[in-house]
Structure 1
Amino acid sequence: MIDKSFFIKRLVAYRELKKLNQEQLSKAMGFKDRQTLSAIETGTRELKPSELLQALKVLDISLEQFSDPYSLVGEANYSWRQCEATEEELSNYEDKTSRIVALLKDLDEKFSTTSHSVILPKLPITKNSTFHDVTKCAEQLVKEFNLGDFPADNLEELFFRKFNVSKLYVDMPNSISGAAIKLNTISVILINRNEIAGRRNFDTAHEAFHCLTWDAIPPKHVEKAYSNQKKKPYTEKLADAFASALLMPSESIEKYITLKESDITEDVINNLANKYGVSSIALMWRLVSLDKISRSHADRLDKELMAKNGQKDGEDLPPKLFNKQFVQYIHKSIDSGTLSVRKILSILDMTMEELNDLLVSYNLTVPYDL
């Protein structure tokens, strides 16, 4: 049974989503004054069924949409990292992924054996922090959690186990590379699994920065993936600096880059970038920032030879859809009868065959009713 506070929260969320203030919605619902709606939203007056139906009519949403438990309206804040995506494209994709994230949240609460703190972890970063502060913070994380010379291999352990940030690999339009999502109890990172490995890892660290600094430095709902650093907002530059230092620690760079500048070729950068799990271009700029190569040397490097880290098409296969933990939860929810197959298919926007393939990809036995 849905608690009445659920309807109140949804009413407020949809009113704000439709950009209506209390006075505007009150008038449209036929109330004499704003105080009536205010009393409903604060819980001091009950919302009558007829009033709810009138509100839904004004807000132009169905009762099914309004009461959908797998909706994050009013519960989640999104920050999208995109390049030339249309507003409609982002809106449609956010609607689609919000149900998947809501399912993750619900199943995590049902099946997780790990108790999550009610206080989400944060980094000691503020809007006044400098690039030095952010870089130092990232390097300290590498040491504190023993992430090794190549931290990309341990990012999931760091963010999920230590900071309660889950990562889902999803199929995104080419114009979208990732998103950070902040909820009350967990944070979620969405990564376009069809990008190259180096880009995926960098986006993971970049979005994790937003998740762990959200209250101090709230990111915009939509962030453009700028190719021109001068036009990039300061918050995004901080996130890039954090990701760069986390994935390519200075001590590790000192250990593996012992060549003189003239010997640091495209092949050298490609090979080392693959070890760090970053793009060759990201490593190149990290080397510039650490004075391992000059900017003029970086400009002379052939960027075409560094495209896709020098790999041929087909060598960098995309990771499996979602993640192992989430798919295990899905399997358990079907096997235990917690959720019907029909409901799972609806939320994931999958066919029966696609769900079957998803379970098999994680070596899970397909339930008999599939």
Structure 2
Amino acid sequence: MASVPTGLRLKALRERRGLSQEELSRIFGFDNRQTLQQIESGQRRLTAEELVAAVREFDVPLDFFTNPFLIAGEARFSWRRDADTPVSDLDAFERQAGEWIGAYRELRAMTGNPVSPIVHRLNLTRASSYEDATDAGEAVARFLELGPVPSRDLAQAMYDRMSILVLMVDAGDGISGAACLVRNLGAVLVNRNEIPGRRSYDLAHELFHILTWDAMPPERLDDGEGSGKLQKRVETMAEKFASALLMPSWLLRSITGDATDPAWLNATATGLGVSAKALKWRLVDLGRIDRGTARAYDDDLLVNNGGLVSEDREIPLRFGRPFMDVMATAILQGHISVRRAAALLDVSVDGLGELFGAHGITRPFDM
């Protein structure tokens, strides 16, 4: 298991508090800030006394510095959430989600299958056009070989072809999901309780951020509040990319029908796993619907995912098969106990067994 980066975690706490290195050095009683610089850069470890002082000063559990699965200080997140969702709720969920991602990364390595350090990137910048983003979406759809219903196969293809982890989670009201970038790994979190069209869009949208993070780093809170002109442009590029990825032009050309008929839009969108409104504007971009006609639509006729969504709609299983496969292998090889795995996933031991069974994985422990 990789050593715990306590220096990075201390730096994350310092920056969250808004303290300078000089200020925190004084709190610790260091003669100069060079000592703290060495700790934060990993050149020097915290002593036991310093660790206790950090726990007391920042009011965090000791686990914050000792848990190998946490990725505080290492990871960058970009969240899609409603503007009125409390940031405190998001902070708490980010810590939990980060532990899932960190556990996946560490346990994969321990079971002999470390994540690949080779990552994919799109050759796009803020200076790229919306057409460039659209072309990139279509190119990725071809690369991933998504087939006639891209939304259905996207999550598995991201994992198989790009080593990007997709986690279906219970994120709480107002949180749609997130993109996360951490050493050697990109991950996407999707609120599994959203309607299908929203889930598909969020997944494709966050894939754009994973593939363009270095050139166009997204804001932590993607809620439209306070975003600058350049960031709003990046988000529009992400929308164009997602639309083209989920509804590539060659696929839509093969689907015939009256694009001005709301019933056709609803049925087609439902089949594609996208929203009817998104389909409408994609067809505008492709010239199949006049822009003026599209604006005159009564969008109330374009409901949810292109059709009425029943309360008993199919909801994806928690976490996803790749994540649960790693958990099962780690338990079998003795890298994590059953009780710790259950606590990590916030389920009982019985619930953990049921979760493995739901994913079609042989339960890796006896009840």
Same fold per TM (> 0.5)? yes
Q: How does 1:303-322 map to 2 (within 5 A)?
A: 303-308=299-304, 309-314=306-311, 316-322=313-319
Q: How does 1:69-88 map to 2 (within 5 A)?
A: 69-83=68-82, 84-88=84-88
The reply on whether 1:334 has 2:334 as its aligned counterpart is no
Q: Is the 8 A contact 1:269 1:284 kept in 2?
A: yes
User: Counterpart in 2 of 1:109?
Assistant: 109
Q: Is the 8 A contact 1:81 1:225 kept in 2?
A: no
SS state at 2:310 partner: coil
Instruction: State, as a whole percentage, how many aligned pairs show the same letter.
Output: 35
SS state at 1:233 partner: helix
1:41-91 superposed Cα distances (whole Å, 9 cap, x missing partner) = 445555432233223322322322211112111111000001121111111
User: Counterpart in 2 of 1:191?
Assistant: 190
Distance of aligned partners of 1:98 and 1:221 in 2 relative to their CA distance in 1, 3 Å threshold: same
Contiguous gaps of at least 5 residues in structure 1:
none
Q: How does 1:12-23 map to 2 (within 5 A)?
A: 12-23=11-22
How much does 1:332 deviate? 2.3
1:165-188 superposed Cα distances (whole Å, 9 cap, x missing partner) = 111101121201110000111111
User: Counterpart in 1 of 2:169?
Assistant: 170
User: Counterpart in 1 of 2:292?
Assistant: 296
Distance of aligned partners of 1:174 and 1:11 in 2 relative to their CA distance in 1, 3 Å threshold: closer
Q: Is the 8 A contact 2:218 2:231 kept in 1?
A: no
1:139-158 superposed Cα distances (whole Å, 9 cap, x missing partner) = 22233443334322331343
User: Counterpart in 2 of 1:223?
Assistant: 222
The reply on whether 1:100 has 2:100 as its aligned counterpart is yes
Distance in 2 separating the partners of 1:57 and 1:275? 55
Q: Is the 8 A contact 2:257 2:264 kept in 1?
A: no
Aligned length: 362
How much does 1:242 deviate? 0.1
Q: How does 1:10-89 map to 2 (within 5 A)?
A: 10-42=9-41, 47-83=46-82, 84-89=84-89
Q: Is the 8 A contact 1:82 1:225 kept in 2?
A: no
Q: Is the 8 A contact 1:120 1:185 kept in 2?
A: yes
The match for 2:282 among 283, 286, 289 is 286
Distance in 1 separating the partners of 2:328 and 2:47? 39
- Give 1:354's aligned amino acid: G
SS state at 1:137 partner: helix
Distance in 2 separating the partners of 1:153 and 1:268? 20
- Give 1:72's aligned amino acid: I
Q: Is the 8 A contact 1:280 1:307 kept in 2?
A: yes
Q: Is the 8 A contact 1:178 1:191 kept in 2?
A: yes
The match for 2:268 among 260, 267, 272 is 272
Distance in 2 separating the partners of 1:242 and 1:52? 45
How much does 1:334 deviate? 2.4
TM-score by length of 1: 0.89
- Give 1:288's aligned amino acid: V
1:219-274 superposed Cα distances (whole Å, 9 cap, x missing partner) = 00001169xxx998111111110000111111222222454x6xx31110111112
- Give 1:153's aligned amino acid: R
Contiguous gaps of at least 5 residues in structure 2:
none
TM-score by length of 2: 0.90
The reply on whether 1:240 has 2:236 as its aligned counterpart is no
Distance in 2 separating the partners of 1:315 and 1:55? 48
Distance in 1 separating the partners of 2:209 and 2:78? 8
SS state at 1:66 partner: helix
Distance of aligned partners of 1:89 and 1:7 in 2 relative to their CA distance in 1, 3 Å threshold: closer
Distance in 2 separating the partners of 1:328 and 1:222? 31
